[in-house]
Amino acid sequence: MAVDALDARILRLLLEQPRTSVREYARLLGIARGTLQARLDRLERDGVITGTGPRLSPGALGHPVLAFVHIEVTQGHLDTVADGLGGVPEIIEAFSITGGGDLMARVVARDAAHLEDVIQRLVQLPGVVRTRTEMVLRERVPYRMVPLVDAVGRAAGRRPV
């Protein structure tokens, strides 16, 4: 699905002002409300917009420790282990990967001891061979989408119509 320059402007506005009404977005963009709503519906249907809820801080929820855990899995057990990861609330994301391991999980914890408990829970899942944990010291670039949306919008503006 191609995102054009107007889509990029809409997405940027959604990111910068997430609590604004559709009517106000349309006014700010200088387009009809129906046009905006049709674009939003398409962006959701095409999977560009994947959610509208608030971003929460694990640290503010009492889980300030962040780690990335690489998980090596016995061949043929990837889906079983991935399903097992879904049962661990401290895992806030997990991905199949290439390289040193089969899965990588983003894990939050209350403290180092709690992180160890979570890792011990992971190694007990059937099919897990071993784990390797990398603890985050400091966030250097926070999660962001605006620079990517801007780059996509600039590229769309240069594409021939």
What is the band of 54 on the pLDDT scale with cuts at 50, 70, 90?
confident
Per-residue model confidence (pLDDT) at position 158? 76
What is the band of 130 on the pLDDT scale with cuts at 50, 70, 90?
very high
Residue 69 has pLDDT above 70, yes or no: yes
Q: If you average pLDDT over residues 112-129, what whole number do you get?
A: 98
Q: Tell me: the pLDDT tens digits for 76-109?
A: 999 999 999 999 999 999 999 998 889 999 999 9
On average, the pLDDT of the chain sits at: 95
Count of residues for the chain?
Answer: 161
d(CA 102, CA 147): 30
Q: If you average pLDDT over residues 121-148, what whole number do you get?
A: 96
Q: If you average pLDDT over residues 108-126, what whole number do you get?
A: 98
Residue 159 has pLDDT above 70, yes or no: no
What is the band of 44 on the pLDDT scale with cuts at 50, 70, 90?
very high
- Residues 6 or more apart from 122 whose CB is under 8 A from it? 69, 71, 85, 88, 105, 128, 131
Higher pLDDT, 161 or 86: 86
d(CA 135, CA 19): 34
Provide, rounded to the nearest whole percent, the portion of the chain with pLDDT above 90: 90
The gap between the terminal CA atoms of the chain, to the nearest Å, is 15
**Long-range contact set of residues 103-106: C-beta below 8 Å, sequence gap at least 24:** 103/70, 103/71, 103/73, 103/78, 104/68, 104/69, 104/70, 104/71, 105/68, 105/69, 105/71, 106/66, 106/67, 106/68
